[in-house]
């Protein structure tokens, strides 16, 4: 049954099934809708987001970090950043929150079929890419080689360590770097772009997916261009403070586009046509 105009603004209650602590600032909340029949039929695609709400804390968009090919629960990986996300970090198993969605244009998985995929992420930026990696691993015969480059501030800040270990066992080339080492760390120290120095991608069948803070984003774009990637071969997600999620309020306006419905996933070729400050510098 089609949603009415009032339904699209009405959050559904979801219960916290468990909480997976990724690091001191990021936790992954494993959720299920309280309406079990709705939960069983709930579907989404990699790159989409949910609008999350809690009483007296407002509402905020959060990328879905779980895997569309594994229905049953929704994973939202959340970094402490504002009133709502701080409140979420005070939740316990059994508590409930409001969810509405999924919203947004997802990653074009059909277009990525047969491609070698290079994932470049920093910090919480691995969350939306996690959904793509796991989807590819669940359908390995449809995708080429997978490479994950992930940068963190320190070894203690490396999130999704369980996923990274599983991905390595499943043949993903995972490379990590940190800005500052800690005792016991014998891996690379430096910017995530330094991990790209020894890569030799087959540009005829490669696509790069990147997500991270603006400084990392700009540096990675420059490095990808130096490697020969065309703008149409680079995909990213754009963060904006989306209010309605359905293109009505236009709060997430981007020079003629709306992040909530035209994105959050964009190709670099699409972004070049817009006045996006993240591309400057």
pLDDT tens for the chain, residues 1 to 281: 344 445 677 899 999 999 999 999 999 999 999 999 999 999 999 999 999 999 999 999 999 999 989 989 999 999 998 899 999 999 999 999 999 999 999 999 999 999 999 999 999 999 999 999 999 999 999 999 999 999 999 999 999 999 999 999 999 999 999 999 999 999 999 999 999 999 999 999 999 999 999 889 999 999 999 999 999 999 999 877 777 888 888 888 877 788 888 889 999 999 988 876 566 65
Q: Do the domains spanning 7-103 and 109-237 agree at the CATH topology level?
A: no
CATH of domain 7-103: 2.40.30.10
Sign of CA dihedral 12, 18, 24, 26: negative
Distance CA 134, CA 137 (A): 5
Q: Report the phi/psi class of residue 190: left, alpha or beta, with left for phi > 0 and alpha for psi in -120 to 50.
A: left
* Closest to 8 (Cα-Cα) out of 252, 240, 264, 245: 245
Domain ranges of the chain: 7-103, 109-237
pTM of the model: 0.93
Q: Which residues contact 1 (CB under 8 A, 6 or more apart)?
A: none
Strand ranges for the chain from DSSP E: 12-21, 26-33, 49-54, 58-63, 74-79, 96-103, 116-122, 146-152, 173-178, 206-211, 234-237, 253-254, 257-258, 265-267
The C-alpha R_g of the chain, in whole angstroms, comes to 18
Architecture category of domain 109-237 in CATH: 3-Layer(aba) Sandwich (3.40)
132 vs 134: CA distance, rounded Å: 6
**CA of 112: how far to CAs of 94, 145, 221, in Å?**
38, 11, 19
């Amino acid at each position: 049954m089609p949603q009415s105009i009032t339904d699209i603004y009405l959050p559904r209650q979801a219960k916290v099934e468990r909480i997976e602590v990724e690091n001191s600032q990021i936790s992954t909340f494993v959720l299920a809708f309280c309406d079990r029949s709705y939960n069983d039929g709930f579907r989404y695609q990699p790159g989409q987001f949910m609008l999350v709400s809690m009483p007296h804390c407002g509402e905020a968009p959060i990328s879905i970090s779980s895997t569309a090919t594994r229905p049953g629960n929704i994973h939202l990986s959340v970094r402490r950043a504002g009133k709502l996300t701080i409140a979420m970090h005070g939740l316990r198993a059994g508590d409930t929150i409001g969810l509405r969605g999924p919203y947004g244009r997802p990653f074009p998985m059909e277009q990525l079929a047969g491609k070698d995929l290079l994932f470049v992420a920093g910090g919480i930026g691995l969350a939306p890419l996690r959904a793509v990696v796991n989807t590819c691993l669940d359908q390995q015969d449809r995708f080429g080689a997978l490479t994950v480059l992930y940068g963190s501030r320190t070894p203690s800040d490396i999130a999704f360590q369980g996923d990274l270990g599983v991905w390595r066992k499943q043949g993903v080339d995972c490379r990590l770097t940190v800005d500052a080492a800690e005792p016991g760390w014998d891996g690379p120290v430096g910017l995530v772009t330094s991990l790209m120095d020894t890569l030799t991608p087959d540009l005829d069948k490669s696509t790069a997916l990147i997500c991270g803070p603006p400084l990392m984003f700009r540096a990675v774009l420059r490095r990808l261009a130096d490697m020969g990637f065309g703008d149409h071969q680079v995909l990213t997600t754009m963060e904006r403070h989306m209010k309605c999620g359905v293109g009505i309020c236009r709060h997430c306006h981007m020079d003629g586009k709306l992040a909530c419905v035209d994105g959050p996933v964009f190709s670099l070729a699409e972004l070049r046509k817009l006045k996006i400050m993240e591309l400057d510098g």
